[in-house]
Amino acid sequence: MLRLFNFTRHRLLAVGLAAWAILIVSCTVVSRPIVLPPQIPGAKFVGAQACARCHTDITRSFHDATHSRVVAPGEDGSTKNVSCEACHGPASLHIKAGTRSTIVNPRNAPETCLQCHTNTRAEFSLPHTHPVLAGKISCINCHNPHEGEAHAAGAGARSLITASNATCAKCHPAQTGPYVFPHEVMRDGCVACHSPHGSVNDKMLKSRGTSLCYQCHFQPQASSTAIMHGGVDHSPNVIRGTCWTAGCHNAIHGSNVNSTLRY
């Protein structure tokens, strides 16, 4: 039994090693299923150093990005950094011809990003999303794949955590202010209330109706017939709709004239 197990294990290992030659085989910071990078007929992988010869404006700050750590074995058995080609496809033809048609531009191909970010693909399938799959906007409108952490929850994220409002303000300037009386949750960023990739709720909200506001604006209740906030019974208003559609806190993102965001 032991010999059979060892044979099977070695056989599986040999098959696996053969597959490594065409797959991305290592990422130093995450553990995820191995995926096939974009393919360009007739092109071969040349390594990130070859890309840096022309694209110095991009590679200058790429060295500390999560996406810069993708490697694969070269034909000579050495480890080759294919971080650029993992998203843009093998670059040998591009280097030779210097044309855009010989390389993949992820801006025009969201599948390039979604082949690794599978959870995001699922979010884009929800009823209310940013129209990335429809081709109206691209992932890089919000994320910079060439700098910092790839995941927004990472310690060094630059896209949707420390600068989330600035990211959203590119398309939503009216909602991001600045305001004389800003909604305090804006300090945590737009993503405190909105799911940026997709949601089952209208306006890509994380929760539906007043439950969204109650995540922050909840206080212990002493009565079973009243919903008290700031000494005022809100129960007649709550049954009329959400906090912002019931005719009360209409200036949900912020106001220039009213500290309680009434208007």
Q: Per-residue pLDDT tens for 192-215?
A: 899 989 999 999 999 888 888 888
pLDDT at 195 (0 to 100): 92
pLDDT at 176: 84
Report the sign of the C-alpha dihedral through residues 139, 145, 146, 147, in that order: positive
Q: For residue 38, say if its preceding peptide bond is cis, omega within 30 degrees of 0.
A: no
pLDDT at site 7: 37
Q: pLDDT-derived band of residue 57, with 50, 70 and 90 as boundaries?
A: confident
Q: What was the pLDDT predicted at 2?
A: 34
Span of 10-19, 50-59, 118-127, 183-192 with lowest mean pLDDT: 10-19
Domains of the chain, by residue range, sit at: 37-104, 110-206, 211-263
Q: What is the pLDDT of residues 75-101, one digit of tens each?
A: 666 677 778 888 888 889 999 888 888
pLDDT score for 158 = 44
Mean per-residue pLDDT for 180-197?
88
The model's pTM is 0.71
